[in-house]
Chain A
């Protein structure tokens, strides 16, 4: 598969995708707030957010399927805001795939080339079907293919046009979990192979983090934070990002000492964090939200408190719930510092005393702590059962 020649160079002269002040309103409802966004050429960019956050609308404005209320869309140096979708060097993979049911797979893939008046499509279509490993299905109709195969046809149908940018609108949403993991790797492989800019819309934070170089987290029509997956995960700047990407323990705290290291109190105990990891202005007497990821916390039985190294952040509590996952055990600890705290422990040496009701001490490296502005809703972005459905 690796030595297949795919022509990348033909149309890819272009450059970055640049959105400046772009917004979309439907009557009184604003789907996308004025937004500036630059997607570097050749990158795998993810727009991540819950349904209704404006990510699909943003994508459709780049495709030309939606007209922005304000702002401009640039492809490289070219302003394409007023161009209809069929004149933009951009192609889309739709959530429902939108394969033409009356055409076979071959003609579906050839559609874009034929519309641009290219006569000899056979070689290109053949190569593209090979790239997505569907060479033997050329004469099939879309409804005879499985979901994963249809998805690959949709990708092939878009990629064959060598677009400057490929837009993917929740392309894996309809697939089951195992197939989704497989397709994530497949898409990543194709992107690396053809080198085209991919803009991927998804509500699945794991999908966004596995596939993309850069993730923009959207909420309520705005980009909350933008960065590399690890950067977003380690240094969330809002409670929404902290809760939506993975899980965070957020503790309300009061600053008692400001400096290069902040000292705060929460539930009577003193905790520390590096000032550079606090995205909110911190002054003595001010309030903060202190964040720590569940897997960074170590759990010790209260009897072993003496063995904990000095200099670590410590919080006492009582285990209220444990669930055994296999590689890890997840604990819920009720703590005077901040309600129910989540702790993930690797199952290396299991301490049999850690059962519901046991008094425990949670401890972690202060450098793993981050600080957030306390004026935000503490539970923004927490996934509820309804959201997940």
Chain B
């Protein structure tokens, strides 16, 4: 009894962690399955077939490439615009600043399906051809709020005297931005960019409304789930998960090493 009481926090923590990780483990395990029917829902036997041929299903890798492309461009666009908006909102006083400050949160608060439908209406009325560009525009739009929020938090904690100090020490406007402003804001910008990439990559609702005949990876998964789920989907999912974990671990190692060299 005493042991349980003393370790209650640890136990609760481990249970929560298991709760979050379990779905990923299931996906991982089933990427080594060899299903008998078209559906990969019950365990049959171990096989590496899917891992050996991840593009073996028609259109899967095409949709994956498209999703990665859209996510990359959406991240770039949203991060660039969002960073500028965040700086403007924190550093400058201008008319309608308060209104913009709250309007920027609107896309985050609005139900996605409502936004998807209204975007579709807008695109159709403008006579835009649905496809890569409409999806990209939509993604940049909804990623923007998240980037602005992440960068703004960082910029707000930045001392404007640092830039004054840089200018005082012979750095012109460009040098000041590159040498001081950007490096200090970088963690916020990176957080915003990562968030934008993740959101864009797995967005389904808005994309599905506005993609026309273009098929992204989430749309492919959804479409194939109607007819059967190829094991390759689990392979891609597992690969994405592992890459994400590796990125996080690498980042951790770099910061730890930097801290250690600084203290010795």
Contacts and interface: CB of A to CB of B under 8 A. Distances in A.
Interface centre among B164, B168, B171, B172 (most CB of A within 10 A): B168
Contact of A140 (B159, B162, B183, B262): B262
Interface stretch (A18-26, A99-107, A377-385): A99-107
A293 interface: no
Contact of B168 (A91, A100, A139, A144): A91
Contact of A115 (B159, B162, B169, B263): B169
Contacts of A90: 168
Interface residues of B, number: 20
Contacts of A141: 262
Nearest to A66: B164
A94 B169 contact: no
Given A100-B180, A139-B261, A139-B262, A86 B168 contact: yes
B166 interface: yes
Given A100-B180, A144-B262, A65 B162 contact: no
Given A112-B170, A115-B170, A98 B164 contact: yes
A307 B85 CA distance: 80
Contacts of A87: 170
A198 B193 CA distance: 45
Given A104-B262, A140-B262, A144-B262, A98 B162 contact: yes
Contacts of B263: 144
Contact of B165 (A94, A139, A161): A94
Given A98-B159, A115-B175, A140-B262, A92 B180 contact: no
A89 B263 CA distance: 35
A85 B168 contact: yes
B167 interface: yes
Contacts of A85: 164, 167-168
Contact of A96 (B161, B168, B262): B161
Give the dominant DSSP class at A's interface.
loop
B184 interface: yes
Interface string B150-187: 00000000010110111111111001000110011000
A86 to B, nearest CB: 5
Contacts of B162: 98, 100-101
Band of interface residues on A: 20 to 34
B185 to A, nearest CB: 10
Contacts of B171: 86, 111, 115
A161 B170 contact: yes
Given A86-B172, A144-B262, A98 B161 contact: yes
Contacts of A101: 162, 184
B168 A65 contact: yes
Interface string B6-19: 00000000000000
A102 B169 contact: no
Contact of B167 (A65, A100, A158): A65
Contacts of A65: 164, 167-168
A98 B159 CA distance: 8
B180 A94 contact: no
B165 A98 contact: yes
A116 interface: yes
Interface string A97-131: 01111101000000110011000000000000000
Interface string A57-85: 00000011100000000000000000011
Nearest to A96: B161
Contacts of A86: 167-172
A161 B263 CA distance: 28
A296 to B, nearest CB: 43
Nearest to B259: A141
Interface centre among B167, B183, B262 (most CB of A within 10 A): B167
10 contacts: A63-B168, A84-B167, A84-B172, A96-B159, A100-B166, A112-B169, A115-B169, A115-B170, A139-B262, A144-B262
Shortest beta-carbon contacts, A-B, top 9: A112-B169, A98-B165, A98-B161, A115-B170, A85-B167, A102-B183, A115-B171, A92-B168, A86-B170
Interface of A: 63-65, 84-87, 90-92, 94, 96, 98-102, 104, 111-112, 115-116, 139-141, 144, 157-158, 161
Given A85-B168, A100-B184, 9 more contacts: A84-B172, A85-B164, A86-B169, A86-B170, A92-B165, A100-B166, A112-B170, A139-B261, A158-B169
